[in-house]
Structure 1
Amino acid sequence: MEFAAYRRVVGLFYRRLLPLTSLGSGLILGSAVMFGNWPLPLNASVVLMKLSTFPLIWYIGQRTWPDQHWFYCNLHLAQWQLWAPLVVVDTVGFAMLVGLIHQLAT
């Protein structure tokens, strides 16, 4: 598969799961505000909290759209080929957001 086509397929997959990943990010940021840890420092615990939301997102995605992987299987893509870029891009984006908020708040 060409890289341009792979990028479009991963983008399509990410758009479907974007509300769930945004909800996970919002819960992490909201819990920091509620428990007085604001502004949230960018450290390993924050990144691990974000990474720990992905099994839940995977489970909810499987329950909500049980046949979503058939389309990607027909394109000869395994689930890890879809989830690996999603985890990396979403975690890096979340880390950049937390870093920006921390810079603006201090």
Structure 2
Amino acid sequence: MTSLLTWMRAVGLFYRSIAPFMLGCTGLIIGLALVPLLREGKAGMLPALTLAKLLTLPAVWYLAEQLRPHQYWFYYNLGVSRVRLWAGTALLDGAFFLIFATAAQAVLT
């Protein structure tokens, strides 16, 4: 239980540092792709846009590595590997994307 709590806290801390990139991608995908599709009446494109959102993860990973190359020592000392850290980040960001996308869908339909 302690390692799960530590992992969740580490993912929360890490997500705060990369949230501008991740939420920026979310905003661009929702604003430039989902909203026009909803106005045209093509509301079934949410799974494809979720896949497109997941495909932005490698670009954000690269930007995070370039801007802060020594950021993982803290999480390594907590016992959280990079893969577990990024997997938690992908889950958290995917949940945020789905929440924002369904909210936009509810407002515009």
Interval of TM-score (by shorter of Structure 1 and Structure 2): 0.7 to 0.9
TM-score (normalised: structure 2): 0.84
Q: Which residue number corresponds to residue 54 of structure 1?
A: 57
For residue 68 of structure 1, give the secondary structure of its aligned residue in structure 2.
Answer: coil
- What 5-or-longer segments of structure 2 have no aligned partner? none
Relative to total residues, which structure has the larger helix share, 1 or 2?
A: 2
Aligned residue-pair number: 105
Which of 101, 104, 108 matches 1:101?
A: 104
Q: Which residue number corresponds to residue 37 of structure 1?
A: 37
**Structure 1 residue 38: deviation in Å?**
3.7
- What 5-or-longer segments of structure 1 have no aligned partner? none
- Taking only the aligned residue pairs, the percentage that are identical comes to 32
After superposition, what is the alpha-carbon deviation per residue over 1:19-57, rounded to whole angstroms, capped at 9, x for unaligned?
A: 1101111221232278x3245735221111100110000
Distance in 2 (CA, whole Å) between partners of 1:4 and 1:78 is: 15
For residue 79 of structure 2, give the secondary structure of its aligned residue in structure 1.
Answer: coil
Name the stretch that deviates more: 54-63 or 93-102.
93-102
The yes-or-no answer on 1:28 pairing with 2:29 is yes
Output the amino acid matched with 2:27.
Answer: G
TM-score (normalised: structure 1): 0.86
RMSD: 2.0
Q: Which residue number corresponds to residue 82 of structure 2?
A: 79
